Chain A
Amino acid sequence: MNPLNKIIFLSAFLATGFLLILLSGALFNNWTTLWIIFIYLIAPLPNLIASSIENSRDDFLTFSNDHGNNPTSIQEFCRFITGVIVISGIGLPTVLFRCKIIEFGSMLMSIIGGLIVYVDIIIFIWFFSEEEEENDDFNF
């Protein structure tokens, strides 16, 4: 699969996700659900920041930056933050629905749309990072 096809498919996928979130706001005339876009856009950031910190640092005397295949504490903390943010994207519409601020259909559409946007960003990073180096684990 050449990169152009990947980009076209992923952008169509991303547009579907944004369409679902925007429809969940537009159909019920209640634009509170747009916050979900913001949450899922910052969700991949902690792991990106952690991996860039780890790659820019080399250890004294060893000059390698694999710590015996063990993740450092910065990476683990960023994974924890990622888990918190991803579940927050599901939790926020659920809380809004339970407090009767948005409707049930709006909750469902915004959760599915947000997950599509997040998975799309992850697949994008995964596709284009495995071309540079052998990256055997699915680093999300």
Chain B
Amino acid sequence: MDRRNNLFKFNLSMLNLPKSQKLRSFGVYLAGALYAIGFWSMIDAAIYSKSINASNVHVSIVDWIPFICSTLGMIIVNSIEKSNLFNDNQNSFLSPNSNAWAARVILFLGFSLLAGGLAGSFMVFIVKFLMKDIKFPTLGMGVSNIICNGCIMFSCIILWLSQNIEDEYSYSLAL
């Protein structure tokens, strides 16, 4: 009986993701589409605020900060080479200049920027719109801010998952 050295009974390798090249490219296209939905939702709020907004609440730089944080986080998370992360520490004497810790720190920074973007959009929605009892046509600007950051976060998740799909029939010959 093989001895398992997992911490939990269920681990991620039990979860069989479907593996194919088409699914991978479809996931990348889907991530781009979700990012565009988020971006146009924010643009919609800005144009609405300038053109037919009847109230005196306008979209300012404060509403754009969560979007900028999410986008920066997404760029950071998805531009890291993933093979850096799974280096075992047992070989640390053999390869002393392994940069796994730097990759982990930068990845942590990226994920906290993403989560900070989503939390910031909720904060703008609550502080700027809900606390002042603003009714719905104007409240839509806050809602579209939340939609924007949620879509960017989903886009990042889908891009991350689809980059981890490996083709079944391809053998990695990299040393």
Residues of chain A at the chain B interface (Cβ within 8 Å) = 68-71, 76, 79-88, 91-92, 94-95, 98-101, 137
Chain A CB within 10 A, most for which of B29, B35, B159, B166: B29
Q: Please give, as numbers and ranges, the residues of chain B lying within 8 Å of A92 by CB-CB distance.
A: 40
**Are A100 and B52 interface neighbours, CB within 8 A?**
yes
**Are B40 and A91 interface neighbours, CB within 8 A?**
yes
With A69-B167, A79-B28 known as contacts, the answer to whether A91 contacts B47 (CB < 8 A) is no
Closest 7 CB pairs of A and B: A83-B32, A91-B40, A87-B36, A80-B32, A83-B29, A68-B170, A84-B36
Question: Looking across the interface, which residue of chain A has its beta carbon closest to that of B169?
Answer: A69
B3 within 8 A of A: no
Mostly, the A contact residues are helix
- B56: shortest Cβ distance to chain A, in Å? 18
B72 within 8 A of A: no
Q: Using an 8 Å CB-CB cutoff, how does the interface string of B138-175 with A read, 1 for contact, 0 for none?
A: 00000000000000000000010001001101111100
Interface residues on B, range: 20 to 34
12 contacts between A and B (CB under 8 A): A68-B173, A71-B21, A76-B28, A83-B32, A84-B33, A86-B32, A87-B36, A95-B43, A98-B44, A99-B48, A137-B21, A137-B22
Q: Please give, as numbers and ranges, the residues of chain A lying within 8 Å of B22 by CB-CB distance.
A: 137
**Are A69 and B32 interface neighbours, CB within 8 A?**
no
**Are A69 and B163 interface neighbours, CB within 8 A?**
no
Tally A-B pairs: CB < 8 A. 81
Q: Please give, as numbers and ranges, the residues of chain B lying within 8 Å of A81 by CB-CB distance.
A: 32
With A76-B28, A79-B28 known as contacts, the answer to whether A99 contacts B51 (CB < 8 A) is yes
Q: Please give, as numbers and ranges, the residues of chain A lying within 8 Å of B166 by CB-CB distance.
A: 70
Interchain CA distance A28-B154 in the complex, whole Å: 37
Mostly, the B contact residues are helix
**Are A95 and B40 interface neighbours, CB within 8 A?**
yes
Question: Looking across the interface, which residue of chain B has its beta carbon closest to that of A68?
Answer: B170
Question: Looking across the interface, which residue of chain B has its beta carbon closest to that of A62?
Answer: B173
With A84-B36, A84-B39 known as contacts, the answer to whether A79 contacts B48 (CB < 8 A) is no
Interchain CA distance A76-B36 in the complex, whole Å: 16
With A82-B29, A98-B48 known as contacts, the answer to whether A70 contacts B40 (CB < 8 A) is no
Interchain CA distance A79-B25 in the complex, whole Å: 7
With A69-B21, A69-B169 known as contacts, the answer to whether A83 contacts B33 (CB < 8 A) is yes
Q: Please give, as numbers and ranges, the residues of chain A lying within 8 Å of B47 by CB-CB distance.
A: 95, 99
B31 within 8 A of A: yes
- A48: shortest Cβ distance to chain B, in Å? 15
Q: Please give, as numbers and ranges, the residues of chain B lying within 8 Å of A99 by CB-CB distance.
A: 44, 47-48, 51-52
Further 10 A-B residue pairs, CB within 8 A, beyond A70-B167, A94-B44: A80-B35, A83-B29, A85-B36, A88-B40, A91-B36, A91-B39, A91-B40, A95-B47, A98-B44, A99-B51
